[in-house]
């Protein structure tokens, strides 16, 4: 299945809007009145990236072989991606447009134009 980033964002938004845990919505539009929602999502994002980093640390110090934990690394990276998508959806960030603008800035910065 080939999905665009727009497709993924829509799927995640639909999933989040359907789910509640302990009477807390998985989807809340974020603005200046509820920045604690953004803070929570950022902590979750960093937590998932931390889990990825912790597994990688154990591979690099020799506790595990990469082949034995690759699936776990993949899952943690996808969890990180999900939180990034949630933040973009709930904080109203256009990742596609922002990416293209940033790519152009980087091309200029690194003399790639």
Could you report the per-residue pLDDT of 21-43, keeping only the tens digit for each? 888 889 999 999 999 999 999 99
In this predicted model, what pLDDT tens digit does every residue of 83-111 receive, in sequence order?
999 999 999 999 999 999 999 999 999 98
Q: How many CB atoms lie within 10 A of CB 9?
A: 19
Provide the whole-model pTM.
Answer: 0.91
Please indicate, yes or no, if residue 68 is contained in any of the structural domains.
yes
What's the domain range around 99?
Answer: 34-113
Please report whether residue 21 resides in a domain: no
Q: What is the pLDDT of the chain when averaged over all its residues?
A: 96
Quote the CA–CA distance of 51 and 75 in Å, as a whole number.
10
Answer yes or no: is 81 within a domain: yes
Q: Is residue 14 situated within a structural domain?
A: no
Whether 109 is in a domain gets the answer yes
CATH of residue 76's domain is 1.10.287.1080
Domain count, the chain: 1
* Under 8 Å between Cβ of 109 and 102: no
- In a domain? residue 110: yes
| Per-residue CA distances from 105 to 33, 77, 84, 95 (Å) | 32, 26, 21, 15
Q: How far is CA 21 from CA 18, 25, 93, in A?
A: 10, 7, 25
Instruction: Give the separation between CA 17 and CA 23, rounded to whole angstroms.
Output: 13
Is position 80 within any domain?
A: yes
């Amino acid at each position: 299945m080939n999905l665009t980033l727009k497709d993924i964002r829509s799927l995640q938004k639909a999933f989040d809007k359907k789910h509640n845990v302990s009477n807390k919505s998985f989807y809340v539009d974020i603005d200046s009145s509820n920045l604690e929602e953004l803070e929570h999502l950022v902590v979750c994002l960093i937590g998932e990236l931390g889990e990825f980093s912790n597994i990688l640390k154990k591979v690099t110090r020799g506790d595990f072989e990469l082949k034995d934990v690759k699936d776990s690394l993949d899952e943690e990276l996808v969890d990180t991606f999900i939180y990034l998508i949630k933040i973009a959806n709930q904080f109203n960030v256009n990742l596609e447009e922002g990416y293209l603008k940033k790519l152009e800035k980087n091309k200029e910065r690194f003399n790639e134009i």
